[in-house]
Amino acid sequence: MLISTQYLKFVRYNFCNSNRAFLSKNYSTFNPNIRTPFTVLGIETSCDDTGVAIVNSDRQIISEAIHLQQQLHEPYGGIVPNLAMSSHQQYLPLVIREALDKANMDIAKDIDVIAVTRGPGLPACLGNGLSAGKALAAALCKPLIGVHHMASHALTARLTHPTPNLLPFPFLTLLISGGHTLILVARGVNHYIHLGTTVDDSVGEAYDKIARLLKIPWLKGRGGGPGAALEQFAEKGDSKKFSVPIPMTKDKRRKEAMDLSFSGLKTSVNALITKHNLDIDDENIKRDLASTFQKAAIAHLTDKLELAFKWCKEKAIPLTALVASGGVASNKSIRFSLESLAVEQYNVPLICPPPHLCTDNGVMIAWAGVERFRIGLVDEYTIDHMPKWPISSLGSSTSL
């Protein structure tokens, strides 16, 4: 759907005259005569990376800029919230300027909507981005859209999937990152069925902890970090050399639930090292342990996804795809296993954004802004950040 120039002027007028209720009520039925793409600037500061991008409603990524913080946090073995917040404060204005310069755009004339991550995430980090987005939108009389971070990961596949038309709903979604592990059915832009989540550590957190346990140095650059480093180590390891139990397989009730658990994997790997007095300074042993852990983590993910596929079949939900997103979804071994499950057993494609758009970025926020603006989901300038924001609370979403 494309929006008319007259309508964008109408939106701005109503925002500057505090008549947002009329806008949200009437947007989806407005039928413009002159059609043109609209453009959204997206801001992402939910965790450690500062991302800004400009995307339009024709599914074009016009520009993207990002400032990475890996070197800042590596000495501490993980993300330090206060350091992340300070870095956002320092670099966000520069990253916004870079995105505009790359696009050769004037924010007052060429940007129609401001979208920004509202939650979930680290409180101080979210506040940096949201304050900037609110200030820009209010000062320039532009619509503001507060975006759910995990929903934006799910929706990114609709931007990047190389087909003329948008990937249709509903689709099964696995969102896996350093802070989250979620299994959802995406039924619409603002409608999700929450099937399962981790009861303790996220899968990305487990990767990070095992990498720290094995003293694996972080990979540098975009898409790097401890989890990516462990994946690289695991590629040359022997996953059959050792074994650790797959979580939630002994208890029948937990085995049949779609929730996940990853904290026990670190305990199991640690116990393995102690029991066999393994030298983790030995590169071969380190690679074998990394491979053993990864094999168990992937088996746990696919076990729970298989339950989700079966649940959807029982409920007669006509899935169009399995979408995997979030930073951990860039892992090649995980993608291979997910594709085998989706294509060979359930006859739906696996769709993942490009690896650099699986990790946190401004593109996904801008695109979520496009999707929400199309259906009239616009926010007040007074919205606050939501560090804990269940996706099941969005619109008509539900949780099992």
Residue 140 shares a structural domain with residue 263: no
CATH code of the domain covering residue 302 = 3.30.420.40
- Are residues 308 and 198 part of one domain? yes
> For the chain, how many structural domains are there in total?
2
Pair of tokens at residue 384:
């606050």
Let me know if residue 351 belongs to a domain. no
Burial of 161 (0-12, 13-18, 19+ CB in 10 A): middle
Question: Do 157 and 351 form a contact (C-beta atoms < 8 A)?
Answer: yes
Question: What is the distance between the alpha carbons of residues 192 and 386, in angstroms, rounded to a whole number?
Answer: 18
Distance CA 302, CA 307 (A): 9
Whether 152 and 177 map to the same domain: the answer is: no
- Structural domain contains residue 13: no
Can you give the pLDDT at residue 243?
A: 93
Q: Record the pTM.
A: 0.88
DSSP assignment of 345-390 equals IH---EE---HHHHSS-HHHHHHHHHHHHHTT--B-TT----SS--
Residue 69 in any domain: the answer is yes
CB 388 within 8 A of CB 171: no
Query: What is the domain extent for residue 154?
Result: 39-163+360-393
How far out from the chain centre does Cα 273 lie? 33
Indicate whether 188 and 145 sit together in one domain: no
52-106 pLDDT, tens digit per residue, is 999 999 999 999 999 999 888 888 878 899 999 999 999 999 999 999 999 999 9
Q: Which residue has the tokens 């990253």?
A: 95
* pLDDT band, very low/low/confident/very high, at 399 (cuts 50, 70, 90): confident
Q: How many CB atoms lie within 10 A of CB 400?
A: 12
Average pLDDT over residues 196-218: 93
Mean pLDDT of 103-123: 97
